[in-house]
Amino acid sequence: MLTYQDFEQKGAALIPKIITEHQQSELYQTAISADEYDHQKNTTIYNYAHTLFSVTGAALVDYTATNSRIASNFFRRLNTQRCMYSLGNGVSFGDRDEEIKKRLGSEFDTDLTGCAYKALIHGVSFGFWDVNRLHCFPVTEFAPLWDENTGALRAGMRYWRIDAKKPATVYLYEEDGFTILRGKEYSALEVVQEKRGYKQLVRTTRADGEQVAGYENYGSLPIVPFWGSDLKQSTLVGMRQAIDSFDLIRSGFANDLSDCTQVYWLLENYNGMNDDDVKRLRDRLRFTHIAAIDTMSGGSIKPYTVEIPFEARKAYLDYIRNGIYEDFGALDVHTISAASTNDHIDAAYQPMDEEADKFEYQIIQFVQQVCKLCGFNDAVPIFKRNRISNQQEQTEMVLSAAEYLDRETILKKLSFITVDEVAEIMQNLDREEGHRLEDI
């Protein structure tokens, strides 16, 4: 494994090898598979083919068999649920929300959600703070360089090329600035922009207008790793086998409906018929449902039907589906009825709350590191989880305790009011109260 210390010794000449090693790593290969499953292109079911074995044991593809490939969407559905459960309403910072959010920018919540989702499906993503905007570098586009002594991220390179015939571009990020390289291949890169600082200083004068006065850097590398869990691995690990099993069984059921003859006939004492005679008899049975039988010779025709084991397969599919939701700690909305009380809903949410607690620890660490780059060393993100509830019951409970609560707390406890709406509602209420006092 190439580290930051290796890069320090050999410099930019090591870049092609770093990228190659990164693309061969288990982390990268898992991320490629996760992207396929995220786009509902489940590789196992897409690559599946019916096989037959010859008398010699050789495997042959059966091209005559029906090969329906029905890919489920479990992976995207469950990861979206976990991500949006914590970040669907964005993050806030309590009393300092307006100050910090103004510095982070209006698109911070959206950018943070993108980083969080990639962290879940890839195992890790990398957030690059570019003065006033957070950019997400996925594992499939960013090769990190870890410090072999501390394990900290010390440098990295974002690389891409639109097509194999197009030039390759590499942005090399270091603590003291970034360098841009480009070439026909990663092995033939040339510097197209020398290393410069991350923050551009602009000086404005009446005579010359705006001019670049210089560059500055942050106190550390402005790229923060965002781990999807304490396991530091993709959510595809462990879930893939269950998804593949579900897809194969469901696709196999569709194939059986096409391949199995619904009705067939067993002919007795018709050995004198050749293949053409049998074909004509079969066609007559299929289209007219009438056949002449020579009972004097002992011949007979007996119809049989094939029943697909629907109930058994359905039960097994339900079993796998329930197992996927349970193992992931997700909420299956089909387990909650319209008449469920908040106690029942809270019980159904318990596994999801436990997983969200662990995931939010990763979010907090990431957000705090980004805030430090902006100059906020004590920022603490606050979450309002995006969950369903019996809103009427919850509203009645909050209003029944209203005399013991202040106005802001009441607004925050109401499930149909988002965190961002509370401040605006408070201002509107204060404004209306001020108008009433003026009228008096």
Q: What is the pLDDT of residue 77?
A: 96
Backbone angles phi, psi at 128, to 5 degrees: -100, 115
199, β-bridge pairs:
216
Average pLDDT, the chain: 85
Residue 135, pLDDT > 60, answer yes
For residue 91, give the DSSP letter: E
Cα–Cα distance list, 197 to 42, 135, 177, 221, 304 (Å): 42, 17, 4, 11, 80
Type of residue numbered 17: K
Q: What is the CA radius of gyration of the chain?
A: 32
Distance CA 430, CA 8 (A): 59
Contacts of 321 (CB under 8 A, 6+ apart): 246
Stated pTM of the model: 0.79
Q: Compute the average pLDDT of residues 413-434.
A: 80
Q: Compute the average pLDDT of residues 363-380.
A: 95
Residue 197, pLDDT > 70, answer yes
User: What number of other Cβ atoms are within 10 A of residue 318's Cβ?
Assistant: 10
Q: The tokens of 381 are what?
A: 């993100």
Contacts of 61 (CB under 8 A, 6+ apart): 49, 50, 51, 52
Q: What is the pLDDT of residue 8?
A: 95
> With helix as H, strand as E and coil as C, how does 156-192 read?
EEEEECCCCCCCEEEEEEECCEEEEEEECCHHHCEEE
Backbone angles phi, psi at 224, to 5 degrees: -115, 125
Please answer whether residues 234 and 50 qualify as being in contact, where contact means their C-beta atoms are separated by less than 8 angstroms: no
216, β-bridge pairs:
199
Residue 108, pLDDT > 90, answer yes
The pLDDT tens digits of the residues spanning 288-308 come to: 656 666 655 666 767 666 666
196, β-bridge pairs:
178
Confidence category of residue 339, pLDDT binned at 50, 70, 90: low
Residue 65, pLDDT > 60, answer no
Place of tokens 């109401």: 414
Residue 24, pLDDT > 90, answer yes
Q: The tokens of 302 are what?
A: 């007996």
Residue 50, pLDDT > 60, answer no
Distance CA 263, CA 258 (A): 13
Q: Dihedral through CA 21, CA 27, CA 29, CA 33, nearest 10?
A: -160
With H, G, I as helix, E, B as strand and everything else as coil, classify residue 27: helix
Sign of CA dihedral 133, 137, 143, 145: positive
Residue 93, pLDDT > 90, answer yes
Q: Does 290 or 354 have the greater pLDDT score?
A: 354
Q: What is the pLDDT of residue 305?
A: 64
Distance CA 121, CA 226 (A): 12
Domain residue extents for the chain: 4-69+128-227, 239-328, 390-440
Distance CA 185, CA 161 (A): 9
Q: Long-range CB contacts (< 8 A, 24+ apart) of 419-423? A: 419/89, 419/90, 419/92, 419/382, 419/384, 420/89, 420/90, 420/92, 423/97, 423/98
Confidence category of residue 210, pLDDT binned at 50, 70, 90: confident
